[in-house]
Amino acid sequence: MTITAAADGSALGNPGPNGWAWYIDDDSWAAGGSPHGTNNQGELRAVLELLQATAASGEPLRILCDSKYVIDSITKWMPGWKRRGWRKADGAPVLNRDLMESLDEAMQGRDVRFEWVKGHAGHDLNEAADVRANAAAKAYQAKQEPKRGPGFTVAGSDASTAEPASTGETSATEIPVLEPVAAAPLWAEASSLLDVFDAPAPVDLRIQLTAAEHARLRDRADAQGISLEDAVRRLI
């Protein structure tokens, strides 16, 4: 069964506080953002988060998007950029390269069809994604935690809890998993780990994160303007 979802981004000031969101239905959507970014970055991030959230489903994906920049970047321009070492035809570096490379990786092996829809034209899924992306941007503007949504669900089950397939490689996101508490300071989530790190000898603690868990922790680090690693260290 094909999964149909809308993906959208928003920025207040462009650049400024930005947000992203993807939406399938009221039981299956997600949103986030950062304190500073562009609208295009929000649009790209929305598609990336959707690809990552649905990666384990094995289903074809139909993405409704009101950004021709995003669609053309992924479906038309990316092969040439890669051949030229992530440079455009005029030799200039590709903008948002980190997101583009992540999108290229997330697209591998996927059955994905993009469909352009006109923004702010009453399309139900697009409007729902736009509202959530804009709300996330406004939350960051107000220095508040955005509403992140339930994530990707299948028949009422949270797909983000599925055990990821083993690749035999060490994941770059093998860091402590901390369950988010709405509006709680980041350090408050570390209480359950303090006993471990009070041990007399260094402890190597590794927990594999799902894409949704990693996104939540990364957004919290972005909100503080620090790296993900530094954010985890501050918990201690």
Give the pLDDT confidence of 145-177 residue by residue, as tens digits.
Answer: 999 999 999 743 344 333 333 333 333 333 333
- E strand or H helix that includes residue 138: helix 124-141
Work out the pLDDT band at 214, boundaries 50, 70, 90. low
57 and 12 inside one domain: yes
CB 31 within 8 A of CB 20: yes
Q: 102 with 178, same domain?
A: no
Q: Which of 26, 85, 90, 120 is catalytic?
A: 120
Residue, of 121 and 106, whose pLDDT is higher: 106
Q: Average pLDDT over the chain, rounded to whole?
A: 80
174 is catalytic: no
Structure tokens at 130: 């736009």
Portion of the chain with pLDDT greater than 70, in percent: 67
124 and 46 in a common domain: yes
Choice among 37, 43, 151, 219 that is catalytic:
43
List pLDDT tens digits, range 73-84: 999 999 999 999
DSSP run (H or E) holding 213: helix 211-224
Residues 111 and 34 placed together within one structural domain of the fold: yes
Q: In this predicted structure, what is the pLDDT of residue 229? A: 72
Does residue 66 carry a catalytic annotation? yes
Enclosing H/E stretch for 25? strand 16-25
Question: Are the C-beta atoms of 49 and 6 separated by less than 8 Å?
Answer: no
Say whether pLDDT at 53 is over 70. yes
Q: Is residue 59 annotated as part of the catalytic site, yes or no?
A: no
What are the φ and ψ backbone dihedral angles of 144, each rounded to 5 degrees? Answer: -120, 160
State the pLDDT at residue 42. Answer: 98
d(CA 193, CA 233): 12
The predicted model gives 20-39 an average pLDDT of 97
Q: What pLDDT does 209 receive?
A: 72
Question: Which residue is catalytic, options 130, 189, 219, 222?
Answer: 130
Is 9 labeled as catalytic in the residue annotation?
A: yes
Q: Residue 191: which domain range? A: 163-235
Give the H/E segment covering residue 157.
strand 157-158
Within 8 A by CB and 6+ apart from 201, the residues are none
Q: Is 8 tagged catalytic?
A: yes
**Count of structural domains within the chain:** 2
Q: Which of 126, 158, 190 is the last residue of a domain?
A: 158
> Is there a catalytic annotation at residue 120?
yes
